[in-house]
Amino acid sequence: MLGAPKGRYIMSLKTSRRDFLSAGLMVPVAGAASNFGLLQSPDKRPAKAADGPAKLDYRVLGSTGVRVTTVGFGCMITSDPSVIERAADVGINYFDTARGYQHGNNERMVGAALGARRKQLILSTKSDSGNKASLLKDLETSLAELKTDYVDIWYLHGKDKPTEIRDDMIEAQQIARQQGKIRFAGMSTHALPLMAEWTVQKRAFDVVLTVCNFAIDKSMDDAIAAVAKTGTGVVGMKVMAGGFRDIKPSNPLYSKLQRDGAMLAALKWVLKRPDMHTTIPSMTDMDQLDENLRAMAEPYSAGDDKILSAHLEQIRPLYCRFCGECDGACAKGLPVADMLRILTYADGYRQFALARERFQELPVQHTSVRCGDCAECTVQCPHGVQVAERLTRAQELFA
Amino acid sequence: MKSFLLFWISLVAAAAAGAQDYLTCSFVPGWEQSGAKRSFTPDNLFDYRDGAAEGYLIFSFARMQGIDCKSGGVTLAIDVSDMTDADSAYGMFAANRDTSQPIAKIGMGGQLLSQSLLFAKGRYFVEIVETEGGIDQTTVLQSFADKMLPLLEGRDTPPEALQWFPPENLISERLVPESVLGMKILKRGYVAKYARGQAFVVIEDSPGAAADTMQKLRARFGAAITPTMLGDEGFSAKVQYLDGICVFRKGRYVAGYANLPDASQAAARSAQLFARLP
């Protein structure tokens, strides 16, 4: 299993995990944005020079060789095709949908919006079917709805355990590729730390679509790096972090996050990683599109770091950085870091069964401890994680 | 493993206060439950729907209860989602229905296809789907719906707003939960797609709030607009992506037409919409 974090590791927004060299090329696209800004809000800064076109940042999607804009377009909740049309016009070249989104309506809308531009763009869709026949049937439907004779990337959708991927599903992708109906095989997952080792060994996928945001832990960080190192293309989703996901425009916090630039900062944070080849933030309107375009035109700054640090403060009580400072600190001898990691499987990656299995594998002298029996917790996390509360939750869920 | 799953499901079910535990496969003779019932909230819907969960959350999803029913080699996945209010439930239905197929009178509105039945009633959005896609299941699907409908509380008439759109050449109507016409200024509203162009109605809290929205729209479109004598205030324009557009205010309603060949056509169609608004 990759990502069993041991030893010291402090996640810092200010100090990047690796040497985040500038991997992208800032490429102005002549003519891509005629009339760009016509629908601009006067208080928004567009992602373009005063008189020039939008600035686009490209990377190569692993060994596929495909050149993609670092900001792609997640079409899932887009309701008006004009936003997709404009994104394509200004130069975003990667668009993502799935067979299951809105019972197929999303693919239909995306196909209509891209229209004649389709062959100049990179288009991906997904199927969550569980066998070869259903997958191939889904692909035929996807091609019809998207009004195309091929998709560039076809993902097995939402696979969070290696056992969820059978050989005949990989065979379906191979058949589709031989028939020219897909260019590349992909797999999407919310639990890359649980999938990375298998993915690296199996080498069945050209592209992996994974969660990546400023709130990820070391296990996810390592998993992304390990997969990218093999030449697999890596696409980031949930790039605004889970903390933003449920905040809707009607919520005052939504405006605050936008005003503060938190969403833009979160996207820029992901783009710092050279092993993250592109991203698919959801966009519902022109304003979000304009803001996301800025992520390609502006570098991650100290100001962005400050914004995200402030947001991390809000989730600090839940968020273990796996720095190892707590090792040996528990009066009852609990392996605190291991237990918090196990809890992350459940709360972070939604793998409750796996989390319980891992918990039950701990020695009985650990699984039988109840933190509520201690008058005071001896573990003081230097990063503010409320250790006793988190361990109590693990004991309630798994013991 | 199985006992843990049951334990977890019971925990989630307990947390989902108010979830109605009425689902049973015995609604239709010959059908038996397969596996445990499932229950999801906004926090864990991703476990079940993966990325598609966002499409539920944007429509005010509160909780879901589901069950798989089996007969012979056929499995039906039945999921009932509480969408908080009837408008959101209908909106969810409209976003998920096949717009090339007709709407049936099932609850507020439904769509019965050979392998699936979707409908909304009250604040509930119901999906019954034959998971592997085999022979025609319309009779069975309808039978399940017939048993479930009386158990679901709430309205069985579509949102009043749908009646406001002129019916000629109307293809489909839906609730757009945020950013109508792709503009954040138009927060939430109904959109009707026509053979040519689309109409929209955004309902603001007050005439003053609607006037503020109009002001923001004028600022956004800038010099492209021409004032139009319609309602309390209005304008028309020809702009990229929305083509010919006309927007007017009638009390707290901000409405109009877009994506018509020119602004004058948008204004003419808007006059028809104006006449139908309350």
- Neighbouring residues of B168: CB distance < 8 A, sequence distance ≥ 6: none
Residues A95 and A229 in one domain: yes
Going by pLDDT thresholds of 50, 70 and 90, the confidence category of residue B235 is: very high
Residues A258 and A190 in one domain: yes
What's the number of domains chain A is made of? 2
The verdict on residue A245 lying in a domain is yes
Q: Which of A80, A124, A141 is the best mutation test for B, with the most CBs of B within 10 A?
A: A80
The verdict on residue A109 lying in a domain is yes
pLDDT at A360: 85
Residues A59 and A200 in one domain: yes
Residue with more model confidence, B15 or A165: A165
How many angstroms separate the CA atoms of B10 and B2, rounded? 12
Summarised one tens digit per residue, pLDDT across range A367-377 is 999 998 998 89
Q: Does B15 touch chain A (CB under 8 A)?
A: no
Residues A187 and A292 in one domain: yes
What are residue A220's phi and psi, to 5 degrees? Answer: -70, -40
pLDDT at A358: 80
Residues A294 and A330 in one domain: no
DSSP letters of A302-341? HHHHHHHHHHHHHHGGG------TTTT--TT---HHHHHH
Residues A149 and A66 in one domain: yes
The verdict on residue A312 lying in a domain is no
How many angstroms separate the CA atoms of A22 and A44, rounded? 26
Interfacial B residues in 69-88 facing A (CB < 8 Å): none
How many angstroms separate the CA atoms of B94 and B90, rounded? 6
Residues A233 and A338 in one domain: no
Percent of chain A surpassing pLDDT 90: 50
User: Does position A306 have pLDDT exceeding 90, yes or no?
Assistant: no
pLDDT at B267: 96
Residue A338 is part of which domain span? 320-398
Average pLDDT for A263-268 = 91
The verdict on residue A305 lying in a domain is no
Residue A18 DSSP one-character state: S
Using a CB-CB cut-off of 8 Å, the residues of chain A touching B116 are 103
The closest alpha carbon to A133, from A171, A182, A97, belongs to A171
What is the pTM assigned to this prediction? 0.77
The verdict on residue A324 lying in a domain is yes
For the record, the structure tokens of A149 come out as 């004779």
Which of A82-96, A108-122, A228-242, B144-158 bottoms out in mean pLDDT, i.e. has the lowest?
A228-242
Residues A349 and A286 in one domain: no
Q: How far is A304 from chain B (nearest CA, A)?
A: 23
Q: Which CATH number characterizes residue A150's domain?
A: 3.20.20.100
- Neighbouring residues of A234: CB distance < 8 A, sequence distance ≥ 6: A62, A207, A208, A210, A212, A224, A227, A228, A275, A276, A277
Going by pLDDT thresholds of 50, 70 and 90, the confidence category of residue B263 is: very high
Contact (CB, 8 A) for B141 and B157: no
Q: Which of B54, B117, B205 is the best mutation test for A, with the most CBs of A within 10 A?
A: B54
pLDDT at A250: 52
How many angstroms separate the CA atoms of B70 and B191, rounded? 38
> Which of the residue ranges A215-229, A283-297, B29-43, B198-212 has the most confident prediction, judged by mean pLDDT?
B198-212
DSSP letters of A202-266? H---SEEEEE--TT--HHHHHHHHHHHHTT-EEEEESTT-HHHHT--TTSHHHHHHHHHTHHHHH
Domain ranges of chain B: 2-151, 160-276
Using a CB-CB cut-off of 8 Å, the residues of chain B touching A77 are 54-55, 58
Q: Does B97 touch chain A (CB under 8 A)?
A: yes
Average pLDDT for B262-270 = 96
pLDDT at A318: 67
pLDDT at A42: 34
Summarised one tens digit per residue, pLDDT across range A345-356 is 777 655 677 778
Q: Tell me the average pLDDT of chain B.
A: 89
The verdict on residue A237 lying in a domain is yes
Average pLDDT for B11-30 = 66
pLDDT at B55: 86
Length of chain B: 278
Going by pLDDT thresholds of 50, 70 and 90, the confidence category of residue A308 is: confident
Residues A70 and A105 in one domain: yes
Interfacial B residues in 182-211 facing A (CB < 8 Å): 182-184, 187-188, 191
Judge: B51–A83 Cβ closer than 8 Å, yes or no. Answer: no
Average pLDDT for A55-71 = 96
User: Does position B89 have pLDDT exceeding 80, yes or no?
Assistant: yes
The verdict on residue A223 lying in a domain is yes
Going by pLDDT thresholds of 50, 70 and 90, the confidence category of residue A44 is: very low
Which of A36-50, B51-65, B148-162 bottoms out in mean pLDDT, i.e. has the lowest?
A36-50
Partner-chain residue, chosen from A98, A100, A249, that has the shortest CB–CB distance to B184: A249
Summarised one tens digit per residue, pLDDT across range B70-85 is 998 899 999 999 999 9
Residues A217 and A338 in one domain: no
Going by pLDDT thresholds of 50, 70 and 90, the confidence category of residue B269 is: very high
Going by pLDDT thresholds of 50, 70 and 90, the confidence category of residue A70 is: very high
SS3 content of chain A, % helix, strand, coil (to 5): 45, 15, 40
How many angstroms separate the CA atoms of B222 and B216, rounded? 10
Helices A218-229 and A192-202 meet at what angle, rounded to 10?
A: 20
Interfacial B residues in 211-270 facing A (CB < 8 Å): 219-221, 224, 239-242
The verdict on residue A14 lying in a domain is no
The closest alpha carbon to B115, from B101, B125, B128, B124, belongs to B128
For the domain spanning B160-276, the CATH number is 3.40.1000.20
Q: Does B134 touch chain A (CB under 8 A)?
A: no
Please state whether beta strands A94-96 and A122-127 pair in parallel, antiparallel, or not at all (unpaired): parallel
Q: Does B50 touch chain A (CB under 8 A)?
A: yes
> Which of the residue ranges A8-22, A105-119, A251-265 has the most confident prediction, judged by mean pLDDT?
A105-119
Q: Tell me the average pLDDT of chain A.
A: 81
Contact (CB, 8 A) for A206 and A199: no
Judge: A245–B96 Cβ closer than 8 Å, yes or no. Answer: no
Partner-chain residue, chosen from A77, A157, A353, that has the shortest CB–CB distance to B55: A77
Using a CB-CB cut-off of 8 Å, the residues of chain A touching B220 are 39-42
> Which of the residue ranges A9-13, A253-257, A380-384 has the most confident prediction, judged by mean pLDDT?
A380-384
Using a CB-CB cut-off of 8 Å, the residues of chain A touching B183 are 39, 285-287
Using a CB-CB cut-off of 8 Å, the residues of chain B touching A35 are 240
